């Protein structure tokens, strides 16, 4: 059965780095060729912001890094659409991270499973895997 996954920003970065933080379960879901995997433009925005602030060193510019990693790992881009943003007012006020909240909105709007270790995201009414 195909799952449609949305990567949390940290998950994408850990995939790119082949980091030990990825659980065996997360790796299995990400690597399953039957699953469709997306990286949100919201995560790309977060990566660009953190890189510009000097909080996220990358081996290249965010534009090159993100594109190369998406291509290498067969990850599709998911644009932030109006329907997703209109989910925002329905979310409980669990935390204030605007990037995470928009990922949750996209997952709700498009019926996606978020691949995330984040306990805050897991408190929202959204499917998660880790």
Indicate the domain borders of the chain. 4-111+121-129
DSSP code for 87: T
Kindly state the tokens that stand for 126.
């959204």
According to CATH, the superfamily of the domain at 4-111+121-129 is 5'-nuclease (3.40.50.1010)
pLDDT of residue 1 exceeding 90? no
Dist. CA 47–CA 86, nearest whole Å: 23
Q: Model-level pTM greater than 0.85?
A: yes
For residue range 74-120, list pLDDT tens digits in order: 999 999 999 999 999 999 999 899 999 999 999 999 999 999 999 99
* CB contact at 8 A, 2 and 35: yes
Kindly state the tokens that stand for 22.
């990825």
For residue range 29-79, list pLDDT tens digits in order: 999 999 999 999 999 999 999 999 999 999 999 999 999 999 999 999 999
């Amino acid at each position: 059965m195909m799952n449609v996954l949305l990567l949390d920003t940290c998950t994408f970065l850990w995939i790119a780095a082949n980091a030990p933080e990825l659980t065996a379960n997360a790796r299995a879901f990400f690597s399953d060729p039957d699953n469709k995997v997306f990286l949100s433009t919201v995560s790309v925005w977060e990566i660009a912001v953190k890189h510009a602030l000097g909080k996220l060193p990358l081996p290249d510019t965010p534009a090159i890094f993100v594109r190369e990693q998406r291509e290498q790992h067969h990850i599709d881009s998911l644009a932030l659409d109006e329907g997703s943003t209109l989910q925002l007012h329905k979310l409980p006020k669990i935390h204030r991270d605007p990037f995470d909240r928009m990922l949750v909105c996209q997952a709700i709007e498009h019926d996606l499973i978020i691949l995330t270790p984040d306990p805050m995201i897991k408190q929202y009414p959204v499917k998660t895997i880790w």
